[in-house]
Amino acid sequence: MVSHGGEETRGVNVTVAATHELGPERLRLIREMLDTAFDGDFGDEDWDHTLGGIHAWIEDARGIAAHGSVIMRRVLHDGRSYRIGYVEGVGVRGDRRRQGLGGLVMGELERVIDGAYAFGALSASDEGAALYLARGWQPWSGRIEVIGPEGVVRLPDEEGSTYLRPAAGGTLPDPAAALLFDWRDGDVL
């Protein structure tokens, strides 16, 4: 585990670690915070999507105050397969919202994306979109599709809520061609 903090974070430390380094107790605490932060609308499949990558979180005297993770996904675009960093499980405990903690967590996740992936992607709620826009994430204006058990399926409901971020020095895909995501149970995006 690595902790990052500095003058710009005013003494707040963001810890970064892979899922396997967290241990069952910390994973339980993160899951509980996300259940609360999402008002009970964070299910087992959402939790499963959050695991297997790199986590960034902030703890305070009351426990986990903020969390997010970035996992690897495959996306086909215009005949090419990309390895992308997909952001999951971003939440801030209710009593710590609007204090910059989400931005601190995202900063660490973006650092991971810059160092390991072609670009970043996420699906934002209406409430979360402002955070991502302020950090330079761009709404995807093209089609969103998934390779499902029955073949390629368009996801028009995800068009407008999907945001991308180029990795350091990179560019974003051309919206003239669809982003074709890998399949997973639950919400595909």
Q: Is residue 187 part of a domain?
A: no
Question: Regarding predicted confidence, which is higher, 135 or 186?
Answer: 135
Q: Is residue 25 part of a domain?
A: yes
What lies within 8 Å, CB to CB, of 150 at 6+ separation is none
- Angstrom distance (rounded) from CA 141 to CA 163: 9
Q: What is the pLDDT of residues 113-158, one digit of tens each?
A: 999 999 999 999 888 899 999 999 999 999 999 998 999 999 998 9
Q: What is the pLDDT of residues 17-76, one digit of tens each?
A: 999 999 999 999 999 999 999 998 999 999 999 999 999 999 999 999 999 999 999 999
Q: Is residue 77 part of a domain?
A: yes
Q: What is the pLDDT of residues 50-62, one digit of tens each?
A: 999 999 999 999 9
Number of domains in the chain: 1
Predicted pLDDT of residue 168: 85
Whether the predicted pLDDT of 6 surpasses 50: no
- Angstrom distance (rounded) from CA 94 to CA 25: 21
Cβ atoms < 10 Å from Cβ of 92: 25
Predicted pLDDT of residue 189: 85
Please state the length of the chain.
Answer: 189
- Angstrom distance (rounded) from CA 90 to CA 63: 16
137 token code pair: 């994430």
Beta bridge partners of 144: 179
Q: Is residue 154 part of a domain?
A: yes
Beta bridge partners of 83: 74
Domain at 21, CATH number: 3.40.630.30
Whether the predicted pLDDT of 8 surpasses 80: no
Per-residue confidence at 1, pLDDT binned at 50, 70, 90? Answer: low
Beta bridge partners of 2: 16
**What range defines the domain where residue 170 resides?**
2-181
Q: Is residue 186 part of a domain?
A: no
Q: Is residue 11 part of a domain?
A: yes
Q: Is residue 189 part of a domain?
A: no
Cβ atoms < 10 Å from Cβ of 97: 15
Q: Is residue 125 part of a domain?
A: yes
Predicted pLDDT of residue 187: 87
Predicted pLDDT of residue 3: 59
- Angstrom distance (rounded) from CA 71 to CA 49: 8
Q: What is the pLDDT of residues 73-108, one digit of tens each?
A: 999 999 999 999 999 999 999 999 999 999 999 999
pTM of the shown model: 0.93
